Copies of this chain bind each other. A is one copy, B any other.
Amino acid sequence: MGEFELIRRYFLPLAGRQESGSLILGPGDDCAIQRIPAGRDLVFSVDALVEGVHFPRNYRPDYLGWRALAAAASDLAAMGADPECFTLALTLPAVDEQWLEDFSMGLRKASEAFGLELAGGDTTSGPLTLSLQVHGTVEQGAGIRRSGARPGDLIAVSGTLGDAGAALDYLSEPAPSADMLAVLERYHHPWPRLDLAGAIRQYATAAVDISDGLLADLGHILSASGVGARIESARMPLSPALVRLKGEKALDCALRSGDDYELCLCFSRENWERAPESLKRQLTVIGFVDAEPGLYLDGVDCSLEAVPAGFDHFRSEL
């Protein structure tokens, strides 16, 4: 199969699916063209995923398609942006039709679930690597940055943390228990919190998505905002499955493992008080922002842990 046939068969069905979208020219030309509505800004982010680094070798291609787009879309959620479209740069060792069919199916499900239309891309021969760039929009000036946290702000996280990290221990489990299946599902099918984007841009002062672990990602907010934080381990939202599987180590998963794609958010007390219950119900307050630098967990400074250490083990965004 030639490359153009490959694209026509597996990827063009992902284009032109969002009728209300801002894309006015999709795949098939030198460039795509997007018309940003008046009064709105373009918000965009690129994520690279490498086999053996960001996902296991011989990982199920339908899961890969979903996870890759979910991970990228999570950055839009963290800005409070509404999703629009995405591009895909895919390098593949060989044309494996079954792999392509499964991969594109997972990608299509995610594309539909997240409201992200395929705008264009590039497919080449090479080691299995993906690079996805997602485009969203926000009202001008409404994008939530990492730098907006102020002393006294409350710090909250969405959902529960640590499940996806714990799942790494069970990827090869031949007969997984119900609890294992629950955390594996969090790893294989993360849901970026795009549902919270509208409320976030209305009430949050700062936001980051949790892709490298809570301590590391909260650390990004603190350094960008020039503040410190005090958080409490007893407040950390842990799923029952995680607690049953990991016992005392559940907290460690919640603090230090990534891949959950939940959000870490800051709110002024005033905003928190007037935020709707529908938002608060999905969040857990874990501490507050402090003028004094440092990331204190139960009174102990763990700032150094918040600094990602090695090139090999972290994906880091410019």
Contacts and interface: CB of A to CB of B under 8 A. Distances in A.
Contact of A48 (B4, B7, B91, B207): B91
Nearest to A125: B312
A261 B36 CA distance: 29
Interface of A: 1-4, 6-7, 11-12, 15, 24-25, 27-36, 38, 41-54, 75-76, 78-79, 81, 87-91, 94-95, 118-127, 129, 131, 133, 136, 138, 140, 143, 145-147, 207-209, 224, 307-318
A316 B4 contact: yes
Contacts of A76: 30-31
A46 B224 CA distance: 29
A247 B24 CA distance: 46
Given A30-B146, A35-B42, A46-B121, 11 more contacts: A2-B309, A2-B310, A25-B143, A27-B318, A28-B224, A31-B76, A32-B44, A38-B38, A47-B122, A48-B124, A91-B129
Contacts of A207: 30
A224 B315 CA distance: 39
A224 B124 CA distance: 22
Given A87-B46, A311-B2, A75 B318 contact: no
Count of identical protomers in the assembly: 2
A312 to B, nearest CB: 5
The list of the 4 closest CB pairs from A to B, nearest first, reads: A50-B126, A131-B131, A121-B318, A48-B89
B312 A122 contact: no
11 contacts: A2-B309, A3-B308, A7-B316, A12-B318, A15-B318, A24-B41, A29-B224, A33-B138, A53-B124, A53-B125, A122-B317
A131 B122 contact: yes
